[in-house]
Amino acid sequence: MTTKHEQIIAYIEQLEIGHKISVRQIAKNLGVSDGTAYRAIKDAETRGIVNTIERVGTVRIEKKQRSEIEKITFAEVVNIVDGAVLGGKEGLHKTLTKFVIGAMKLEALLRYVGPGNLLIVGNRDRVHQVSLEYGAAVLITGGFDATEEVKQMADFYQLPVISSSYDTFTVASLINRAIYDRLIKKEILLVEDLLATHEEPITLGPIDSVDTFHQLVRETSHSKFPVVEETGRIVGMVTAKDVIGLSASDRIEKAMTRNPVYVHPHTSLAAAAHEMVWEGIELLPVVDEQKRLLGIVSRQDVIESLQTMQKQPQIGETVHELSTRGFQEVTKEGTPVLRGKISPQMTDSLGILSTGVLTTLMTETCLRLLRKYHREDLVIQNFTLYTLKPVQLETMIEIVPKILELGRNQAKLDVEVLTDHQVVGKALITAQMIEK
């Protein structure tokens, strides 16, 4: 039996792209409370099937595929630039292909404006009109209004005309930053990326017998299975070790491990790997918001995907890449050492090296040392910073790691940060191997 929440999500999914919805409308049409409708709409927004705009409302949008995640809709542009929609609200769901800055004469501008574009321009009424005629939406900077004629054209062509109080440079920077962040997000592998290549999981029910478990083992050569109810909700996991000593007629619910560790489709693979290491498990169920089983990922699946990801070229830079970009790896007595100068972006409000950047640099240095020993599949299990002194801007620092223990599954390292041969930072780091 589906819940009211699921019914609302299904209702929203069948609405046409561009359809406006509201809490009151959902509550009235489906006979639910305003609170239930509100929570479902927020969930739909998280799933990427609606977008909410201040002073406009919530609009049904097309869910982007992973390959199109860097694209943004005009509705999202409104939120990014804190804008107001002056006209063309029916086109808010449309996707932005590129933006053009209108810092040129009208004749020259026509070569760059086309369908799906967003023209960023000031209070140039004629340019607004021509842009809409050529199929491009308009973003007016400086907080200026549009003429009634432009607003009517926007409604006719279903192309948004947006006004933002920011200047042209700020608006372009905000949109570019949003697209850039999506490129980084696109590179991060999620659990759902693995599920797309997997078959439906083989499951058992709580009332199935241990004999059924043994039959599945013989048929599949697997020894671990999720246990789900008739509704598809996961209630446990059962392994060959769990059924030892039980008779063939005993029920699975007697042997299974209840409340198993699970992840959601949007969990990153790195987080899933850490969960597997921390809990010491080989299989990880993937569930939806109602804990219904969607699939299973194994430790080997996760490792192989992470290894593939490490070999891919990077498009967008994360804080991690930005923190290490100005540093060079040098070899000192056979040990890889990071050496570089503290730049303004690496400091805090007091002008000294940020603690977050420092821990990133220390962690990266230790991982590079461990990779020399072919230990590539690692997660940091513990980081203890027990010496820290202020490091000023423009200071040259050297980060030196030292292995204290190196076992089959775990490594313990001491790492020092030096400036002018003086220790300004010292930490103890423990790293855990992700075994296949």
- Write out the two tokens for 133: 């005629």
Instruction: Name the more confident of 375 and 428.
Output: 428
Mean pLDDT of the chain: 83
- Write out the two tokens for 394: 């423009």
How does pLDDT run across 134-158, given as a tens digit for each residue? 999 999 999 999 999 999 999 999 9
How does pLDDT run across 66-117, given as a tens digit for each residue? 544 456 788 888 888 888 999 998 888 888 888 888 888 888 888 888 898 9
The torsion angles phi and psi of 333, rounded to 5 degrees, stand at 55, 40
Residue 67's pLDDT is 45
- Is residue 58's pLDDT more than 80? yes
Residue 157's pLDDT is 92
How does pLDDT run across 291-317, given as a tens digit for each residue? 889 888 887 777 777 665 555 444 445
Q: CB of 377 within 8 A of CB of 303?
A: yes
- Is residue 347's pLDDT more than 90? no
Instruction: Name the more confident of 186 and 24.
Output: 24
How does pLDDT run across 197-212, given as a tens digit for each residue? 667 788 999 999 999 9
Residue 374's pLDDT is 63
Percent of the chain whose predicted confidence (pLDDT) is above 90: 25
Percent of the chain whose predicted confidence (pLDDT) is above 70: 88
